[in-house]
Structure 1
Amino acid sequence: MADNNLVQVLVVEDEQEIRELMALHLLRQGFKVTECTSAEEAMNEVAKTHYSVFVLDWMLPGLSGVELVERIRTKNKTAGVLMVTAKTEPQDIVLGLEKGADDYLTKPFNPAVFVARVKALARRTQSEEAAPGKPEDEIQVNGLRVNFKSYEVSYNNEPLHLTPSEFKLLGALVQNRGVVLTREQLIENIQGEGINVVGRTIDTHVFGLRKKLGEWGDRIETIRGVGYRVKMDSV
């Protein structure tokens, strides 16, 4: 569970009412929040303070939120980035994710969902910052155990037999739990010697994986028109 008192969040939103609403809900959860109205103002903040989570509007005066994501990523590889946008077309959402955002939320949004998304990113970011650059040999999530050294997977101590593609797919999802991965990102994770994945065949792999995982497979969310995500537990 993340200690929100240690998490610095930068909210970049030019509409005052929305920005203050976001900040209020995050402050109530114990986050340290800084507010900015433009990408330029945000970059000044990034230059002097380390932020664990960024909440970015897409349509900002001057540089857009998508352009800001790219600039943030040159300085901070581990921060969680949540795009909050009125753009709802799948191609727009995919673009934001491919530029470096971890998750997205469309306007108007439910404040409880907004806070849950930020918490999920904060947990993941704190975990990565605690052991920078050190990949986990084994991950356990709600009874599921994935061992990246032995390539073994079990659920409630019962071994599961996955294909190489299914193992790589599950590995990518649990390593990035709480984060939306596009089909293109998942294809990149799966491609390799003897494995060729094209187009929407990723959906077929997810279907097979869910069947083998049984009830745990319900944790793999379909983000329509975009990709997939493993749900994080609420706190």
Structure 2
Amino acid sequence: MGESLADGNVRVLVVEDEQEIRELMALHLLRQGYRVTECGSAEEAMVELDKGSYQLFVLDWMLPGMSGVDFVEKIKAKVPKSSILMVTAMAEPHDIVAGLERGADDYVTKPFNPSVFLARVKALIRRSNEDMAPAIASGSEVKVAGLKMNFKTYEVSYQGEPLHLTPSEFKLLGALVQNQGCVLTREQLIESIQGEGINVVGRTIDTHVFGLRKKLGGFGDQIETIRGVGYRVKMDIA
């Protein structure tokens, strides 16, 4: 979807202890339409990790308490498919290498140019959405809690009973199942089913999910609505 993804469905967590810098970054992000949460420390941000799903984290290195690079490892352990942008005064080459090796996806040094900062943010979000698109290998089959999907034959069954899904419903369910436990925004789900001659909007996704839940029977309860963001298939299923 390119830069059109810069809207209220993309959530960004900014972790910076200097209030003026934190508010400046948040202001630029808000002007792009992102949903922004601000934290002054990694410890405060750890609490936010349990409250919602974030697609991008913007981190300072020199934070009070836990450092930004130590927090990177916490984020990657909890939200492995998120993107992390380090924004820090630690500008020596060995610092940049260390930050990237610890798991940061990109690095901006202070003082930063706002246009460069936003360009890096947009690039990471674009890359994140491309990575989240389901990479369906020919002939692959996925089994989750009684649900079986075959991406070669486009067959799907639950508890051994075949289900009859539309092509869009199949692609939507495939994206959710292959990213089990991760929240997919409506934009990411639109990407998964958008095709030639198909014009999909956010409300269309909601309608497809409603129809899927009815067709999937018991498995439909595993598709969780994340208010204001999108949907996910729960991880805590047998």
TM-score range with shorter-chain normalisation? 0.5 to 0.7
Select which of 54, 59, 62 maps to 1:56. 59
Aligned counterpart, 2:131: 128
The 3 A distance-change label for structure 1 pair 32 and 136 is farther
Select which of 6, 19, 24 maps to 1:21. 24
CA shift, 1:135, in A, is 7.2
Aligned counterpart, 2:91: 88
CA shift, 1:4, in A, is 1.5
Secondary structure of the 2:47 match is helix
The 3 A distance-change label for structure 1 pair 43 and 135 is farther
CA shift, 1:130, in A, is 3.2
The 3 A distance-change label for structure 1 pair 83 and 136 is farther
The 3 A distance-change label for structure 1 pair 124 and 91 is same
CA shift, 1:80, in A, is 1.1
Structure 1 unaligned segments of length 5 or more: list them.
138-235
**CA deviation string 1:14-61 (max 9, x = no partner):** 000000000000000011100000001111111121100000000000
For residues 132-151 of structure 1, what are the structure 2 equivalents within 5 Å? 134=135
Secondary structure of the 2:29 match is helix
Aligned counterpart, 1:4: 6
Query: Are the counterparts in 2 of residues 52 and 126 from structure 1 also a CA contact under 8 Å?
Result: no
1:28 partner letter: R
Secondary structure of the 2:125 match is helix
Aligned counterpart, 1:141: none
CA shift, 1:126, in A, is 1.7
Aligned counterpart, 1:169: none
Aligned counterpart, 1:150: none
Normalising by structure 2, we get a TM-score of 0.55
**CA deviation string 1:141-179 (max 9, x = no partner):** xxxxxxxxxxxxxxxxxxxxxxxxxxxxxxxxxxxxxxx
CA distance in 1, matches of 2:65, 2:25: 22
Name the larger-Rg structure. Answer: 2
Query: Are the counterparts in 2 of residues 57 and 85 from structure 1 also a CA contact under 8 Å?
Result: yes
1:116 partnered with 2:111:
no
The 3 A distance-change label for structure 1 pair 136 and 101 is farther
Q: How many residues align?
A: 135
CA shift, 1:129, in A, is 2.4
Normalising by structure 1, we get a TM-score of 0.55
Structure 2 unaligned segments of length 5 or more: list them.
139-238
The 3 A distance-change label for structure 1 pair 110 and 135 is farther
